[in-house]
Amino acid sequence: MRDPKRVTILISGRGSNMRALVEQAAGYEVVLIASNKPHAAGLDWARGRGIQTWALDSKSVDKAQFDRILSAALDHHDVGTIALAGFMRILTPWFVEQWRGRIVNIHPSLLPKYRGLDTHARAIAAGDAISGCSIHIVTEELDAGEVLGHAEVPIEPDDTPTSLEERVLAAEHALYPRVMRKFVRR
Protein backbone atom coordinates (compact mmCIF):
# COMPACT_ATOMS: atom_id res chain seq x y z
CA MET A 1 0.00 0.00 0.00
CA ARG A 2 1.53 3.32 -1.08
CA ASP A 3 1.53 6.18 1.44
CA PRO A 4 0.23 9.35 -0.31
CA LYS A 5 2.07 11.55 2.20
CA ARG A 6 5.43 10.43 0.75
CA VAL A 7 5.82 12.87 -2.14
CA THR A 8 8.30 12.98 -5.00
CA ILE A 9 8.71 16.05 -7.18
CA LEU A 10 9.67 15.65 -10.85
CA ILE A 11 11.57 18.54 -12.39
CA SER A 12 13.43 19.38 -15.59
CA GLY A 13 14.84 22.81 -14.72
CA ARG A 14 15.16 25.53 -12.10
CA GLY A 15 12.61 24.02 -9.73
CA SER A 16 11.07 27.08 -8.09
CA ASN A 17 7.80 25.21 -7.48
CA MET A 18 9.85 22.33 -6.07
CA ARG A 19 11.42 24.74 -3.57
CA ALA A 20 8.01 26.06 -2.57
CA LEU A 21 6.70 22.51 -2.04
CA VAL A 22 9.73 21.63 0.11
CA GLU A 23 9.84 24.86 2.11
CA GLN A 24 6.12 24.86 2.84
CA ALA A 25 5.79 21.10 3.39
CA ALA A 26 3.20 20.34 6.07
CA GLY A 27 1.08 17.21 6.19
CA TYR A 28 3.33 15.58 3.58
CA GLU A 29 7.03 14.82 3.24
CA VAL A 30 9.14 15.36 0.11
CA VAL A 31 11.20 12.16 0.02
CA LEU A 32 12.74 12.38 -3.46
CA ILE A 33 13.47 14.88 -6.22
CA ALA A 34 13.67 13.19 -9.61
CA SER A 35 14.66 14.59 -12.99
CA ASN A 36 15.10 13.65 -16.63
CA LYS A 37 17.95 16.20 -16.79
CA PRO A 38 20.98 15.22 -14.69
CA HIS A 39 22.11 18.86 -14.62
CA ALA A 40 18.78 20.43 -13.65
CA ALA A 41 19.53 23.32 -11.28
CA GLY A 42 16.87 22.16 -8.84
CA LEU A 43 18.80 18.92 -8.14
CA ASP A 44 21.74 20.80 -6.59
CA TRP A 45 19.39 22.75 -4.37
CA ALA A 46 17.72 19.53 -3.21
CA ARG A 47 21.06 17.83 -2.47
CA GLY A 48 22.08 20.89 -0.46
CA ARG A 49 18.97 20.36 1.66
CA GLY A 50 19.82 16.70 2.20
CA ILE A 51 16.91 15.46 0.07
CA GLN A 52 17.45 12.27 -1.96
CA THR A 53 17.71 12.84 -5.70
CA TRP A 54 17.43 10.64 -8.76
CA ALA A 55 18.20 11.52 -12.38
CA LEU A 56 18.31 9.72 -15.69
CA ASP A 57 19.04 11.56 -18.94
CA SER A 58 15.89 11.04 -21.00
CA LYS A 59 18.01 11.23 -24.17
CA SER A 60 19.89 8.09 -23.14
CA VAL A 61 16.91 5.68 -23.24
CA ASP A 62 13.62 5.43 -25.12
CA LYS A 63 10.41 6.84 -23.68
CA ALA A 64 8.98 3.52 -22.51
CA GLN A 65 12.25 2.52 -20.86
CA PHE A 66 12.56 5.87 -19.12
CA ASP A 67 9.11 5.59 -17.61
CA ARG A 68 9.68 1.98 -16.47
CA ILE A 69 12.99 2.86 -14.79
CA LEU A 70 11.47 5.98 -13.20
CA SER A 71 8.47 4.06 -11.88
CA ALA A 72 10.74 1.42 -10.32
CA ALA A 73 12.87 4.16 -8.70
CA LEU A 74 9.79 5.79 -7.20
CA ASP A 75 8.65 2.46 -5.75
CA HIS A 76 12.15 1.88 -4.42
CA HIS A 77 11.80 5.16 -2.48
CA ASP A 78 8.30 4.23 -1.26
CA VAL A 79 6.73 7.21 -2.98
CA GLY A 80 2.94 7.62 -2.79
CA THR A 81 2.32 10.92 -4.61
CA ILE A 82 4.03 12.39 -7.67
CA ALA A 83 4.11 16.18 -8.12
CA LEU A 84 5.17 17.42 -11.54
CA ALA A 85 6.82 20.83 -11.33
CA GLY A 86 8.23 22.03 -14.63
CA PHE A 87 8.73 18.42 -15.76
CA MET A 88 8.97 18.87 -19.51
CA ARG A 89 7.90 15.40 -20.58
CA ILE A 90 4.61 13.74 -21.33
CA LEU A 91 4.35 10.54 -19.29
CA THR A 92 3.40 7.36 -21.15
CA PRO A 93 -0.10 5.88 -20.71
CA TRP A 94 1.62 2.91 -19.04
CA PHE A 95 3.14 5.18 -16.38
CA VAL A 96 -0.14 7.04 -15.84
CA GLU A 97 -1.88 3.69 -15.31
CA GLN A 98 0.71 2.57 -12.74
CA TRP A 99 0.17 5.76 -10.74
CA ARG A 100 -3.49 6.41 -11.59
CA GLY A 101 -4.91 9.30 -9.57
CA ARG A 102 -1.63 9.87 -7.73
CA ILE A 103 0.10 12.26 -10.17
CA VAL A 104 -0.54 16.01 -10.02
CA ASN A 105 0.78 18.87 -12.16
CA ILE A 106 0.89 22.64 -11.97
CA HIS A 107 -0.10 24.49 -15.12
CA PRO A 108 0.22 28.27 -15.68
CA SER A 109 -3.31 29.02 -16.84
CA LEU A 110 -6.86 28.79 -15.55
CA LEU A 111 -7.66 25.35 -16.91
CA PRO A 112 -9.53 24.29 -18.99
CA LYS A 113 -8.27 27.42 -20.79
CA TYR A 114 -4.89 27.24 -22.55
CA ARG A 115 -3.68 23.69 -22.25
CA GLY A 116 -0.14 23.19 -23.54
CA LEU A 117 2.57 25.83 -23.98
CA ASP A 118 2.79 29.67 -24.23
CA THR A 119 -0.14 30.16 -21.90
CA HIS A 120 0.69 33.75 -20.88
CA ALA A 121 1.10 35.01 -24.45
CA ARG A 122 -2.16 33.31 -25.41
CA ALA A 123 -4.07 34.82 -22.46
CA ILE A 124 -2.78 38.33 -23.30
CA ALA A 125 -3.48 37.91 -27.04
CA ALA A 126 -7.04 36.84 -26.23
CA GLY A 127 -7.59 40.06 -24.23
CA ASP A 128 -8.38 38.16 -21.03
CA ALA A 129 -8.71 40.24 -17.84
CA ILE A 130 -7.68 37.38 -15.56
CA SER A 131 -5.15 34.60 -15.80
CA GLY A 132 -3.64 32.36 -13.16
CA CYS A 133 -2.57 28.80 -12.48
CA SER A 134 -4.16 25.42 -11.85
CA ILE A 135 -3.23 22.19 -10.15
CA HIS A 136 -4.75 19.14 -11.80
CA ILE A 137 -4.58 15.36 -11.74
CA VAL A 138 -2.52 13.95 -14.59
CA THR A 139 -4.29 11.67 -17.04
CA GLU A 140 -3.37 10.42 -20.51
CA GLU A 141 -4.75 13.64 -22.03
CA LEU A 142 -2.45 16.70 -21.75
CA ASP A 143 -3.50 19.16 -18.98
CA ALA A 144 -7.02 17.71 -18.96
CA GLY A 145 -7.44 15.85 -15.64
CA GLU A 146 -9.58 16.93 -12.67
CA VAL A 147 -8.68 20.41 -11.42
CA LEU A 148 -7.85 20.40 -7.69
CA GLY A 149 -7.30 24.14 -7.25
CA HIS A 150 -6.93 27.47 -9.04
CA ALA A 151 -5.34 30.82 -8.21
CA GLU A 152 -6.38 33.88 -10.18
CA VAL A 153 -4.00 36.66 -11.24
CA PRO A 154 -5.32 39.85 -12.90
CA ILE A 155 -3.78 40.76 -16.27
CA GLU A 156 -2.62 44.40 -16.30
CA PRO A 157 -2.97 46.52 -19.47
CA ASP A 158 0.82 46.78 -19.95
CA ASP A 159 1.58 43.13 -19.14
CA THR A 160 4.00 41.19 -21.30
CA PRO A 161 4.17 37.38 -21.21
CA THR A 162 7.26 37.77 -18.98
CA SER A 163 5.74 40.16 -16.46
CA LEU A 164 2.57 38.07 -16.27
CA GLU A 165 4.63 34.89 -15.86
CA GLU A 166 6.42 36.40 -12.83
CA ARG A 167 3.21 37.19 -11.01
CA VAL A 168 1.60 33.87 -11.91
CA LEU A 169 4.73 32.08 -10.67
CA ALA A 170 4.40 33.78 -7.27
CA ALA A 171 0.79 32.57 -7.14
CA GLU A 172 1.95 29.04 -8.09
CA HIS A 173 4.32 28.97 -5.12
CA ALA A 174 1.47 29.70 -2.71
CA LEU A 175 -1.08 27.41 -4.39
CA TYR A 176 0.90 24.18 -4.91
CA PRO A 177 1.78 23.45 -1.24
CA ARG A 178 -1.76 24.36 -0.15
CA VAL A 179 -3.38 21.98 -2.65
CA MET A 180 -0.82 19.27 -1.87
CA ARG A 181 -1.68 19.33 1.83
CA LYS A 182 -5.31 18.54 0.96
CA PHE A 183 -4.56 16.11 -1.86
CA VAL A 184 -2.43 13.75 0.23
CA ARG A 185 -5.35 13.24 2.59
CA ARG A 186 -7.76 11.96 -0.04
Q: Up-side HSE of residue 100: CA atoms within 13 Å toward CB?
A: 4
Q: Per residue in 134-157, is it b (16+ CB within 10 Å) or e — as a string?
A: bbbbbbeeebebebbbbbebebee
Q: Could you say which of 17, 58, 71, 98 contacts ligand GRF (CB under 6 A)?
A: 17
Q: Is there binding between residue 177 and ligand GRF (CB under 6 A)?
A: no
Number of C-beta neighbours around residue 12 at 10 A: 17
The answer to whether 173 is a known catalytic residue is no
CB atoms within 10 A of CB 186: 7
Of the residues 21, 43, 74, 85, which one makes contact with ligand GRF according to CB under 6 A: 85
For position 15 contacting ligand GRF by CB under 6 A, the verdict is yes
If phi over 0 gives left and psi between -120 and 50 gives alpha, with beta otherwise, what is residue 106? Answer: beta
Q: Which of 5, 14, 89, 115 binds ligand GRF (CB under 6 A)?
A: 14
- Residue 172 touching ligand GRF (CB under 6 A): yes
Contact between 13 and ligand GRF per CB under 6 A: yes
Q: Which is nearer to ligand GRF, 123 or 133 (CB)?
A: 133
Cβ-proximal residues to 176 (8 Å cutoff; 6+ apart), any chain: 17, 20, 21, 83, 85, 106, 135
Taking CB under 6 A as the rule, does residue 145 contact ligand GRF?
A: no
SS3 73: helix
State residue 131 phi and psi, 5-degree precision. Answer: -125, -155
108 binds ligand GRF (CB under 6 A): yes
Q: Does 8 interact with ligand GRF (rule: CB under 6 A)? A: no
Which CB sits closer to ligand GRF, 62 or 141?
141
Alpha carbon distance 68, 158 (integer Å): 46
Q: How far is the CB of 15 from ligand GRF (least distance, A)?
A: 5
Which is catalytic among the residues 107, 120, 136, 173? 107
Q: Give me the residues that bind ligand GRF (CB under 6 A), please.
A: 11, 13-17, 85-86, 106-108, 133, 169, 172
Known catalytic residues are: 107
